[in-house]
Structure 1
Amino acid sequence: MTNVTRHYVLAAGGTGGHLIPAFALAAELEARGHHVALITDARGAAIPGKPAGLTAHVLPAGRLSGMNPLGWLRGIRAILEGRRMALRLFDSFQPSCVVGFGGYPALPALLAATSAGIPSVVHEQNAVLGRVNRFLAGRVNAIATAYQEVERLSQSHAAKVTCVGNPVRAEVLGLRDAPFPPFTADGLLRVLVTGGSQGARVLSEVVPDGLAMLPPALRTRLQVTQQCRAEDIDAVRQRYATHDIPAELGTYFEDMAERLADAHLFIGRAGASTIAELTAVGRPAILVPLPIATDDHQAANTREIVAAGGARAIRQEKFTAVELAKQIQALAMRPETLANAAHAAWNCGYPHAARDLADLVEGFGGAPLMDVIRVARASDARAEQAKGEQVA
């Protein structure tokens, strides 16, 4: 831990996927004695989970998408105004480094940092470099990634890339050392189904019917928790009632970490935070990537965990009740298969992502000797983790 208190600015787009790792890094930097400020948009400022001491600054952030020239003009004006506001903040806050987590609300802050000569880092949560991070890659000092292989990342930037993983919420990370919940040949099979913050209609339509097609040996042991859209919940409840499958439904669960801890199997989308939490805790999954995700990044996010044996991925156009039942049977007909998949998912996790990202960020503005100490400490910790996983 450094003995020098410094200031850092984190900039993140207004979605949980961008904000959750920013919150985790903020908590780690504050625990090290630093002062941290957040730049986001109005939507991001409302995302739950922000550390109590983290001050959020809402800046204009235009989008540069579509073919409408007026839309581009408005977007550029908003970005430039956000850049001017960020520069004023930097004048008073004097950050040692500005860290961006993607999304258009991060763009003005990173542009301001590069123009002011302030060191900057971007963190990419997905297995495809996002548009904003792609635009900034040549300007920033370092690129932190959540995956060893990231598409759309130019080889010309390879020297500045460090894979640290994707930081997750403390309450989820705290579950990493807990054992996989007991699953026996005649015990309950607890299934957790979510489709992101608003649920997913395709899951509501397919999952109840897929579970109903399971052999009686599995179907009669099901205990389901499913997040649904508000407009779908009554119909989903009726489907489960028709199939005589016990299911708890809701549009939002505040205790999602506890529900993940109890689950034997997860079914849902393949967003970056979802994958990071599944691998942090070690939970088998059947993943249905969002087909309209930019650059098909959710499909890319599934590659590592699927290759390791910790998950099955089904494209949405092939996500039918029959296919779902087939994949669940392959995982859950024998207790050891599900347990092995859980361990494979666990091995894909990066439990020290927040710490390693903080080490990288602290490398800017610190004394060279402290940088050497930090790098050595991080290397020793990773070696110890690898040794432990080999033993496991």
Structure 2
Amino acid sequence: MKILMTGGGTGGHIYPALAFVNHVKTLAPDTEFMYVGTENGLESNIVPQYNIPFKTIKIQGFRRSLSPQNFKTVYLFLSSIGKAKKILKEFQPDVVIGTGGYVSGSVVYAAKQLNIPTIVHEQNSIPGMTNKFLSKYATKVAICFPDVAQYFPKDKVVLTGNPRAQEVVSVEKTDILKEYGLNPEKKTVVIFGGSRGALKINQAFVEALPFFEERDYQVLYASGERYYKELQEKLKLSEKKLTNISIQPYIDKMAEVLAAADLMVGRAGATSIAEFTALGLPAILIPSPYVTNDHQTKNAQSLVKSGAVEMIPDQELTGSKLVAEIDTILLDELRCQSMAEASKKEGIPDAADRLYKVVKEIT
């Protein structure tokens, strides 16, 4: 079988695609893959590291305000369909899977015109503009949150979950916290604001630090590379030793770290949610207010309903509020256990298998 993946712009579109590729390679090693992205997108740096044939097309997104750039966007979209058709004819895939981002718009639309079966994969609880457009043409629409089904043609929707969950669920608990100077036997909260960090979370952590030093639990905090140096200087980290707190610019083995933790605090991106629910980890979510359609808030709200998470709006976040919320979970064994069970129920640990089943059904 030949499968063409397309998606880009953010890690939330790219990593589910790569997780699916990795899983299918274990199930059916003879499967051939190709990935289509853009030259300037994040995918051009990430995908080649996975030894997947990679092709690019040129495209850009629509401006939400009236702009002459939108004329260029229409031109690029139309010309990119021609380029996508050329790639499709050369590779001759049995199915095309688009995981979001403008690039998938051209490729999935071109595949439809060539009568190639297609799947659109939507990671969030509010669909992106591209996936909403493509749902009219796609053979199937794979979703991760039941709430998002209302935005798509009912007969096309399949609840598959995020393939990243299946990568994470098999990760076993280890002593990885030792690598960060922490005790693997102690209750641990992991706090981070995404790969680049988040200013508001950073500010709250600085305010919370004196309180964290007094707690019985320990804290692993990833500030993001862009805030790390400033944090070191502000807190004078070179002059004092923190006994139950570890501050890092970035956490490389996040899945392994989460498997060793008792609570996660962070943004409400689709990939993070797939990871911690697959592990059955309670969470405090602080949705980013800077994402399209405020979809992170909707992601978080769907999990608040089930009791798996607590949510703090970004504008309400303070150091004292952060510590208080963490205390109410980590210092209450029954509540922590209840949230963990609810989180596990929300997870879809066989997401990659579900998506592969859809592939086999339509090819």
Work out whether the TM-score is over 0.5: yes
Identify the residue that residue 25 of structure 2 maps to in structure 1. 30
- CA shift, 1:245, in A, is 5.9
Helix, strand or coil: the match of 1:73? helix
- CA shift, 1:236, in A, is 5.6
Separation in 2, partners of 1:283, 1:61? 38
Please tell me the residue identity of whatever aligns with 1:291.
P
Q: Once structures 1 and 2 are overlaid, which stretch shifts more, 47-56 or 137-146?
A: 47-56
Please tell me the residue identity of whatever aligns with 1:78.
L
Give me the identity figure in percent: 27
Separation in 2, partners of 1:46, 1:170? 24
Identify the residue that residue 202 of structure 1 maps to in structure 2. 200
Which of the numbers 76, 91, 98 marks the counterpart of 1:78? 76
Residue 41 (structure 1) aligned with residue 19 (structure 2): no
* Structure 2 residue runs without a partner (length 5+): 177-184
TM value normalised by structure 1: 0.82
Helix, strand or coil: the match of 2:348? coil
Identify the residue that residue 164 of structure 1 maps to in structure 2. 160
Distance 1:356 1:237, change over 3 A: farther
Identify the residue that residue 280 of structure 2 maps to in structure 1. 282
Separation in 1, partners of 2:47, 2:107? 22
- CA deviations over 1:97-129 (Å, ceiling 9, x no partner): 211111111111012112222221100000111
What are the equivalent positions in structure 2 for 1:255-334 lying under 5 Å apart? 255-334=253-332
- CA deviations over 1:196-232 (Å, ceiling 9, x no partner): 121111111002323533694xx25423232324245
Please tell me the residue identity of whatever aligns with 1:173.
V
Which of the numbers 170, 175, 181 marks the counterpart of 1:174? 170
Q: Once structures 1 and 2 are overlaid, which stretch shifts more, 166-175 or 110-119?
A: 166-175
Separation in 1, partners of 2:234, 2:44? 33
Separation in 2, partners of 1:51, 1:143? 28
Which of the numbers 111, 115, 135 marks the counterpart of 2:109? 111
Q: Once structures 1 and 2 are overlaid, which stretch shifts more, 136-145 or 320-329?
A: 320-329
- CA deviations over 1:255-306 (Å, ceiling 9, x no partner): 2222212222111100000000010112111110001211111011112322
Separation in 2, partners of 1:146, 1:317? 27
Distance 1:230 1:356, change over 3 A: same
- CA shift, 1:246, in A, is 4.1
Q: Is the 8 A contact 1:123 1:143 kept in 2?
A: yes
Equivalenced residue count is: 351
Separation in 1, partners of 2:51, 2:226? 33
What are the equivalent positions in structure 2 for 1:49-128 lying under 5 Å apart? 52-128=50-126
* Structure 1 residue runs without a partner (length 5+): 1-5, 182-186, 366-392
Helix, strand or coil: the match of 1:302? helix
Please tell me the residue identity of whatever aligns with 1:72.
N
Which of the numbers 7, 16, 20 marks the counterpart of 1:12? 7
Q: Is the 8 A contact 1:309 1:344 kept in 2?
A: yes
Helix, strand or coil: the match of 2:164? coil
Separation in 2, partners of 1:341, 1:313? 13
Distance 1:87 1:215, change over 3 A: closer
Separation in 2, partners of 1:119, 1:11? 14
